[in-house]
């Protein structure tokens, strides 16, 4: 594996900023991926979505495994960072063997790792390989869910290119993740002359969020984060509308069902206020399974052949591997570079782990 070449490609990917929802930027990057996968011997296509196109690529198998069931790799090309982040608070830089910049860790490093591994096994016997690169993973993959379900049919195993655990361990299960939007409609009125005629949507939303916290407190192993609040307009007008996006994490489907049932049934506190709750995206809990344990053992054996020790552990964060794990497919995640700072301004990846992870992915392709 050629680390300088990998770093050059990673820099070019990072400098091509791709915020979630920026369809022109994401589509331009998707074109780059389609071209790159064709260079590596695959057949790739863009799959249209209003908020940015996804990419699906198929690489033929070779030798005795050419007709075997494919392995699937899941990745994404959107990031949480807006255009301009690179020129502002997060410039590309390499210091003491650590790469800094928006998306180096989550997860353009994973894209470069996969490309390098595919190039490394071009002359080796291996199964067919399918790749799905999602454009809206950072908001729960609402437009990619059915695509992932369809393209994962018939695969022998699924590998995610998300970041690993801090010590490099792979991820063997994930909590479920659901994002909801609470929308409140009230009634506007003059805040001083006629406040009694108004119904404050903001006050109602605040009370709804307190009620949500009380629901969450009744259950173990539930995470809840109020990510966005908007509403109202002027301080002399009773707010007529307000909304909030709330993210939940669940350890199991039963808890998820109970919490969502309670939250969606919360009544309005104020007479005349209208409260609506909509599920914006959902990733079911991917729970531990013998199939994943068996896959981890095979990956550990592949790693041992190249002098790498591979471990695995459960993860709280969610990703597209939630879906394949939930579907019962043997699934592992965390084949991206080792680093830290996902979704934070100190996002970084250890440069040397780019080649290490690419070597591991290549070993997986040759042996699984």
Q: Does residue 265 share a domain with residue 182? A: yes
Alpha-carbon distance of 353 to 312, in angstroms, equals 17
Half-sphere exposure of 200 (CA within 13 A, CB side): 17
Q: Tell me, what's the pLDDT at 289?
A: 94
Q: Does residue 55 share a domain with residue 143? A: yes
Q: Does residue 119 share a domain with residue 20? A: yes
Q: Does residue 184 share a domain with residue 164? A: no
Q: Does residue 170 share a domain with residue 184? A: no
pLDDT < 70: residue spans in the chain: none
Residue 87 phi, psi dihedral angles, 5° rounding = -80, -10
Q: What is the pTM of this model?
A: 0.89
Q: Tell me, what's the pLDDT at 358?
A: 98
Q: Tell me, what's the pLDDT at 359?
A: 98
Q: Does residue 103 share a domain with residue 27? A: yes
- Domain C-terminal end among 249, 283, 317: 283
Intra-chain end-to-end CA distance of the chain, in Å = 20
Alpha-carbon distance of 227 to 178, in angstroms, equals 12
Domain at 155, CATH number: 3.40.630.10
Alpha-carbon distance of 147 to 269, in angstroms, equals 40
Q: Tell me, what's the pLDDT at 317?
A: 86
Peptide bond into 102 cis (omega under 30): no
- Domain C-terminal end among 266, 283, 300: 283
Residues carrying an active site annotation: 78, 137
Q: Does residue 313 share a domain with residue 206? A: no
Residues 6+ apart with CB under 8 A from 109: 10, 99, 163, 336, 337, 339, 349, 354
Q: How many domains does the chain have?
A: 2
Q: Does residue 109 share a domain with residue 12? A: yes
- Domain C-terminal end among 283, 313, 333: 283
Share of the chain above pLDDT 90, in %: 95
What Cα–Cα distance (Å) separates residue 168 from each residue in 64, 162, 312?
Answer: 32, 11, 9
What Cα–Cα distance (Å) separates residue 118 from each residue in 1, 114, 128, 136, 287?
Answer: 11, 6, 11, 24, 29
Q: Does residue 7 share a domain with residue 114? A: yes
Q: Tell me, what's the pLDDT at 253?
A: 87
Alpha-carbon distance of 363 to 368, in angstroms, equals 8
Q: Does residue 98 share a domain with residue 124? A: yes
Q: Tell me, what's the pLDDT at 162?
A: 97
Q: Which domain holds residue 42?
A: 3-174+286-367
Q: Does residue 64 share a domain with residue 169? A: yes
Q: Does residue 134 share a domain with residue 18? A: yes
Domain at 200, CATH number: 3.30.70.360
């Amino acid at each position: 594996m050629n680390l300088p070449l990998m770093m050059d490609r990673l820099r070019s990917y990072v400098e091509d900023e791709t915020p979630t929802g920026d369809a022109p930027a994401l589509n331009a990057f998707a074109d780059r991926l389609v071209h790159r996968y064709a260079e590596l011997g695959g057949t790739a296509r863009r799959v249209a979505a209003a908020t940015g196109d996804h990419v699906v690529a198929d690489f033929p198998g070779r030798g005795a495994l050419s007709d075997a069931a494919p392995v699937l790799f899941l990745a994404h090309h959107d990031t949480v960072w807006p255009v301009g982040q690179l020129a502002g608070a997060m410039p590309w830089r390499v210091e003491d063997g650590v790469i800094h910049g928006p998306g180096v860790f989550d997860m353009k490093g994973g894209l470069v790792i996969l490309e390098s591994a595919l190039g490394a096994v071009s002359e080796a016997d291996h199964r067919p390989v399918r790749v799905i690169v999602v454009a809206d993973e950072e908001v729960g993959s609402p437009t990619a869910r059915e695509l992932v379900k369809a393209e994962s049919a018939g695969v022998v195993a699924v590998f995610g290119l998300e970041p690993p655990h801090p010590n490099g361990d792979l991820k063997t299960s994930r909590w479920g993740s659901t994002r909801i939007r609470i929308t409140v409609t009230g009634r506007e009125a003059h805040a001083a002359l006629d406040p009694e005629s108004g119904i404050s949507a903001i006050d109602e939303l605040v009370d709804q969020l307190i009620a949500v916290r009380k629901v969450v407190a009744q259950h173990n192993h539930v995470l809840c984060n109020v990510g966005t609040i908007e509403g109202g307009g002027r301080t002399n007008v009773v707010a007529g509308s307000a909304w909030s996006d709330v993210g939940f994490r669940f350890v199991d489907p039963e808890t998820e069902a109970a919490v969502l049932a309670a939250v969606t049934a919360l009544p309005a506190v104020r007479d005349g206020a209208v409260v609506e709750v909509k599920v914006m995206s959902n990733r079911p809990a991917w729970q531990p399974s013998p199939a994943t344990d068996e896959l981890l053992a095979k990956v550990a054996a592949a790693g041992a052949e190249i002098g790498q020790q591979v471990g695995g552990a459960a993860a709280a964060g969610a990703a597209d591997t939630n879906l394949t794990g939930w579907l019962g497919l043997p699934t592992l995640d965390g084949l991206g570079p080792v680093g830290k700072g996902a979704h934070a301004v100190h996002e970084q990846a250890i440069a040397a782990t780019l080649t290490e992870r690419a070597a591991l992915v290549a070993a997986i392709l040759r042996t699984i």
